[in-house]
Structure 1
Amino acid sequence: MHKIAVAKGDGIGPEIMDAVLKIFTAANVPLEYDVVDMGKWVFDKGYSNGMTPEAQETIETLGILFKGPMETPKGKGVKSVNVTARKTWNTYANKRTFQTLHGVDTVFSKAGITIDITIVRENIEDTYGGIEHMLTHDVALCRRFITRPGSYQVIKYAFEMAKKKGARRITCGHKSNIMKITDGLFLEVFYEIAKDYPELNADDVIVDDLCMKLVTKPDLFDVVVLTNLQGDIVSDLCAGLVGGLGFAPSANIGDHISIFEAVHGTAPDIMGKNIANPTALLLSGIGMLRHLGLMEMAAIIENSLLYTLESGVHTGDFGDKAIPSLNTTAFADAVIANFGKLPAQNAKPVLANLYVTPTIFKLDKNPMLESIDDEAINILGADFFIETNLQPTEVAEKCLKHTLTLFKLVTVTNRGTQVWPKGSVFTNLVSQYGCRFESIDNLPLTQVDILELTKRMMKDFKVCSYELLNQFGYKKAYSLAQGQ
């Protein structure tokens, strides 16, 4: 008997969690549940991360969290407890499986198109770092982090999962045609890892084209791996293909801790009415059982759920309106009553349990993710982001005074578009410019050189921020301006 942490959630969370645990109990699933305090009501008690210290300790000790939907209070400046949990415990891979469920009608099921897509979303980095600043009254900045080690973790997981699944295809969704360095790095790591999996058909698709293809020919895709924000959007799109978020399970996989959850909302309008649909949370729980090696029980419960749906049993949010809907408790009872029955389509093989008590990791320091690179790193200049309402030529004239013997002014941009030395009077401006200084003859610079230039620039402008222009080996590690 293994113990896991359970957080019932907000809104309809306790109702659907109780229904799922009732099904698990009826199936004699060998789990014990330690209920922990997380969610909106914990925020309201003054815990800014949405969980009590005792809850965090329990989850870190047990290694598995099964959670219901949770609400983040609006207008209180606090971060989402869902995102905080994923990032705190480095659950770097968000796996969401979308499959045709017979009894859940969609335009694709009516057309006889079977969907079986697994989205693997990077779960830690990207804009979900939530690092934002107002640089001027009119200009907001969000920092987007894509790292080589973080990309490696999630993409390696996606390939391993695709191999075990027997996938025919694994696709990287990206926007590296625009974000050439950040998405370009993610795509580069994808193809580096693909070399180790010659049996898998690995390819890539620009994310907007991916979305178009998903809503026209979703059966073309099998496993798709994406960065965080793009993965968030695409996974919700895929939920719409199979009936909505009420049928979308979610697993957040890490090396030490994993979280299984329903990603739909808390539905406060139906809270306490016992009419919520527990299917998404049940599917997430079935994924958790397989993660724990409880293969036989996972298959029995999933086959029963598929048989139940196929039979026309439904809650009020879907299904044949000519058939009376069941409440949450009755739906769970129907699944229990159908244990041992197989659906006519897509029955899951009943495999022997592989359950082994997991190793509990005790860490005494934070793991440092770092790729080894022997290439020389040189500083070739800096981008200065300044606040001013001067015209581009006036900005350039002031900057040119500070070039002296080490630097040359290469370009002046506004919102990423070059406005000096070439530009157009039709380019609208905001009161913040980017001024790029590079070293003369590409000679290496020091941080002290950049600091001296910063001090000189501050005599004429408010310097909001600056970024070093690095070169790794012979590769410049910065992008050109639009129009440069």
Structure 2
Amino acid sequence: MTKIAVAKGDGIGPEIMDAVLKIFDAAKVPLEYEFVDMGKWVFDKGYSNGMTPDAQRSIETLGILFKGPMETPKGKGVKSVNVTARKTWNTYANKRTFQTLHGVDTVFSKAGIPIDITVVRENIEDTYGGVEHMLTHDVALSRRFITRPGSLQLIKYAFEMAKKKQAKRITCGHKANIMKITDGLFLEVFYEVAKDYPELKADDVIVDDLCMKLVTRPDLFDTVVLTNLQGDIVSDLCAGLVGGLGFAPSANIGDHICIFEAVHGTAPDIAGKNIANPTALLLSGFGMLRHLGMMESAAIIENALLYTLEQGIHTGDFGNKSIPSLNTTEFAEAIIGNFGKVPEQGAKPLLKDLPTTQTYFKLEKNPMMESADVANEKIVGVDFFIESNEQPITIANKCMRHAGVKFKLINISNRGTQVWPTGSVYTNLVNQYNVRFESIDDFPLNQQDVLGLYVSMSGNFKICSSELLLMLGDKKAYSLAQGQ
């Protein structure tokens, strides 16, 4: 028996989890459950991360969490327990598989266009770092972190997964045409990894174009890998292609801990009514069983689900309305009654279980991910983000008085658009500028030089934030303003 942690969740969570576990037990899946306390009611008891210390210890010991949907209290300044769990345990790859399910009618199923898309979304970084500040009363800042080690970890997983499922194509969705440094780094790592997988066709698509192509020709795509926010949006788009979030499974994969969950919400409006659709959580459970090597159990139950759907059996949220819908419990019982039956389309082969041994990790310190430093790093300037409601020329005249003998004022921008030394009076301004200083004649700078300029500038301005301008070898490690 393999022991896993189970969190039933909030809203409809307990109902759909009970239904799925009932199916597992009926199939004699060799699992043992340790139920852990996570979710809104745990927040309400004063645990700011949405889980009890005992729950965290259990999950970190067992390495597998099977969870229902969870609610984050609104207006209490706390972070999402779902995001916290993924980030705390470094489940860096969010894998979501979207397949045509016969019996779940969509525009594409009616047109006879099959869909089998796996989205692999980065799960830790990007704007989901949640590092935000108000720079002025009018201007909010969110920092977007894209790292080389984090991107490498995710993209290697995506290529390995695509290779194992015998995919033909892997596509990187990105916005590197605009976010040249952050998305540019992600895309660069994608093609670095692609060199090790010549059997896969590796290509990239700008994310807005990707969305258009997905809703017109989804059958052209196989595996798609994206950064966190873009992956979140695109994976929900793909759920819509196959019938909605009620049919969208999710696996959060890490080196030590993995989380399997449905991606839909808690649906409080129907909680307690025993009418929720457990399919998404059940599909997520198949991913968990296969991850644990329980291939035969996964295939038997999945074939029963597919057969059940083919027969037109459904819950109230989908299916042929002329056929009476079943409640959650009845739907689970129908699947159990169809064990051993095989659907006409999409049947899963009964593979032998893989020999796996549950591994218990005990880390003594936080793993540090750092790539080799291959380029000389040099400070060549600084960006100061200042608060001011003055005109650009006035700000420029004040800044130049502080430049001294080491710095020169290069440009001033507002919301990323250059407004000095050139610009347009038709550019609307807000009360936060970026003033950029660079070294004169490539004079070598150090942090003390920058701090000296900071102190001098603070005599005229409130400095909201600052960033060093770096050269990595012969490459600028900072972006230019629009129009610079």
Whether TM exceeds 0.5 here: the answer is: yes
Counterpart AA for 2:168:
R
Q: Which runs of 5+ in 2 are unaligned?
A: none
Counterpart of 1:466 in 2: which secondary structure?
Answer: strand
Give deviations 1:246-291, integer Å, cap 9, x for gaps: 0000000000000000110111111111110000000000100000
Distance 1:444 1:473 in 2: 14
Distance 1:356 1:374 in 2: 39
| Pairwise CA distance, 1:218 | 0.4
Counterpart of 2:118?
118
Counterpart AA for 2:219:
D
Residue 386 (str. 1) matches residue 396 (str. 2):
no
Counterpart of 2:373 in 1: which secondary structure?
Answer: coil
| Pairwise CA distance, 1:318 | 0.2
Residue 325 (str. 1) matches residue 330 (str. 2):
no
Distance 2:181 2:235 in 1: 24
Counterpart of 2:244?
244
| Pairwise CA distance, 1:403 | 1.3
Counterpart of 1:9 in 2: which secondary structure?
Answer: coil
Counterpart of 2:294?
294
| Pairwise CA distance, 1:359 | 1.6
Counterpart of 2:202 in 1: which secondary structure?
Answer: strand
Distance 2:284 2:432 in 1: 47
Residue 427 (str. 1) matches residue 394 (str. 2):
no
Counterpart of 1:300 in 2: which secondary structure?
Answer: helix
Counterpart of 2:352?
352
Counterpart of 1:340?
340
Distance 2:406 2:352 in 1: 70
Alpha carbon RMSD of aligned pairs, Å?
0.5
Distance 2:349 2:481 in 1: 55
Give deviations 1:107-158, integer Å, cap 9, x for gaps: 0000000000000000000000000000000000000000000000110000
Counterpart of 1:157?
157
Counterpart of 2:435 in 1: which secondary structure?
Answer: strand
Query: Percent of aligned positions with the same letter in both sequences?
Result: 81
Counterpart AA for 1:308:
T
Give deviations 1:376-423, integer Å, cap 9, x for gaps: 110000000000111000000001111121111100000110000000
| Pairwise CA distance, 1:443 | 2.5
Residue 95 (str. 1) matches residue 95 (str. 2):
yes
Give deviations 1:18-54, integer Å, cap 9, x for gaps: 0000000011100000000000000000000000000
Q: Which runs of 5+ in 1 are unaligned?
A: none
Counterpart of 1:60?
60
Counterpart of 1:441 in 2: which secondary structure?
Answer: helix
Counterpart AA for 1:230:
Q
Distance 1:122 1:203 in 2: 18
Counterpart of 1:29?
29
Counterpart of 2:141 in 1: which secondary structure?
Answer: strand
Superposed, 1:184-199 pairs within 5 Å as 184-199=184-199
Counterpart of 1:463?
463
Greater shift in the superposed pair: 333-342 or 118-127: 333-342
Distance 2:43 2:454 in 1: 42
Counterpart of 1:270 in 2: which secondary structure?
Answer: coil
Give deviations 1:55-113, integer Å, cap 9, x for gaps: 00000000000000000001111000000000000000000000000000000000000
Give deviations 1:348-381, integer Å, cap 9, x for gaps: 1110000412221110000001001132110000
| Pairwise CA distance, 1:224 | 0.1
| Pairwise CA distance, 1:444 | 2.2
Q: Where does structure 1 differ by over 3 angstroms across 4 or more consecutive aligned residues?
A: none
Counterpart of 2:283?
283
Distance 1:8 1:462 in 2: 49
Counterpart of 1:19 in 2: which secondary structure?
Answer: helix
Counterpart of 1:181?
181
Give deviations 1:185-228, integer Å, cap 9, x for gaps: 00000000000000000000000000000000000000000000
Distance 1:280 1:128 in 2: 24
Counterpart AA for 2:326:
L
Counterpart of 1:311?
311
Counterpart of 1:268 in 2: which secondary structure?
Answer: coil
Distance 1:378 1:260 in 2: 44
Distance 2:456 2:126 in 1: 33
Distance 2:95 2:74 in 1: 27
Counterpart AA for 1:343:
P
* Aligned pairs, number: 484
Distance 1:383 1:276 in 2: 52
| Pairwise CA distance, 1:441 | 1.5
Counterpart of 2:269 in 1: which secondary structure?
Answer: helix
Counterpart AA for 2:42:
V
Counterpart of 1:444?
444
Counterpart of 1:467 in 2: which secondary structure?
Answer: strand
Residue 259 (str. 1) matches residue 254 (str. 2):
no
| Pairwise CA distance, 1:236 | 0.2
Counterpart AA for 2:35:
V
Residue 371 (str. 1) matches residue 371 (str. 2):
yes
Counterpart of 2:199 in 1: which secondary structure?
Answer: coil
Distance 2:70 2:257 in 1: 19
Counterpart of 2:132?
132
Greater shift in the superposed pair: 175-184 or 400-409: 400-409
Counterpart of 1:133 in 2: which secondary structure?
Answer: strand
Counterpart AA for 2:389:
N
Counterpart of 2:473?
473
TM-score, length of structure 2 as denominator length: 1.00
Counterpart of 1:200?
200
Give deviations 1:440-464, integer Å, cap 9, x for gaps: 1222210000000000100110010
Residue 17 (str. 1) matches residue 12 (str. 2):
no
Counterpart AA for 1:17:
M
TM-score, length of structure 1 as denominator length: 1.00
Distance 1:443 1:162 in 2: 49
Counterpart AA for 2:236:
D
Counterpart of 2:65 in 1: which secondary structure?
Answer: strand
Distance 1:229 1:257 in 2: 22
